[in-house]
Chains A and B, each alone.
Chain A
């Protein structure tokens, strides 16, 4: 039973480009969470999704960031027009139901040059 998968593991983008981060939850998990870890800072919640629905996006920056979890396929975190301050590790987690333990993926390390 594969764990939470994220790709790419490392992503380099130039300022102004778009970044697309993918997360495949564990088998049987329909709840996905995205967290961001800025350099020298703790992990911060960004968004919580179920299949085809955004449940809580209170941690998402108001502009340039969006997330989706379609009926088929992985969850996508999309960052448009990246800036240097977006450089961070982005972690995805999944759970089978709402109140259950969250299992984390290995993260995508985004570097904006």
Chain B
């Protein structure tokens, strides 16, 4: 059974610092991995999707890496801003097409 873990559960940084969010999964037989952002009381916004054959994806200040063999992904957010404050979720898709989510990392960027 696939399990996804995100560490740390919460993170507080001053504005301008780089953010590093970690995601690990137990079964490396995945098709892809997605990173999402969730604001309080809101839905999920997809940030990046990495296919299992890819090592990383980049979008603006965001960069996500994937090491399938070790069951790890890392989301980097450069030069954090207060608007980056949110909960970040990673999810893996294995056979069966359903997403298995981690518990999330709650980020606070202080001005």
Inter-chain contact A56/B98, CB cutoff 8 Å: yes
Inter-chain contact A107/B43, CB cutoff 8 Å: yes
Instruction: Kindly state whether residue A84 has any CB partner on chain B within 8 Å.
Output: no
Inter-chain contact B99/A45, CB cutoff 8 Å: yes
In the bound complex, CA of A91 to CA of B45 (Å): 12
Instruction: Kindly state whether residue A64 has any CB partner on chain B within 8 Å.
Output: no
In the bound complex, CA of A70 to CA of B78 (Å): 44
Q: Is the interface of A mostly helix, strand, loop or mixed?
A: strand
B49 cross-chain contacts in A, Cβ below 8 A: 101
Q: Which of the four size classes fits the interface of chain B?
A: 20 to 34
> Out of A42, A59, A101, A106, which one reaches B102, CB within 8 Å?
A42
Measured CB to CB, the nearest residue on chain B to A33 is: B98
- Contact code string A19-41 (vs B, CB < 8 Å = 1, else 0): 00000000000010101000001
> Out of B43, B93, B104, which one reaches A105, CB within 8 Å?
B43
What are 18 sample pairs from A and B whose C-beta atoms fall under 8 A apart? A33-B97, A33-B98, A35-B101, A44-B101, A45-B100, A48-B96, A48-B97, A56-B96, A58-B96, A91-B44, A98-B97, A101-B32, A102-B46, A102-B99, A105-B43, A106-B42, A106-B43, A107-B43
The list of the 5 closest CB pairs from A to B, nearest first, reads A106-B43, A104-B44, A45-B98, A43-B101, A42-B103
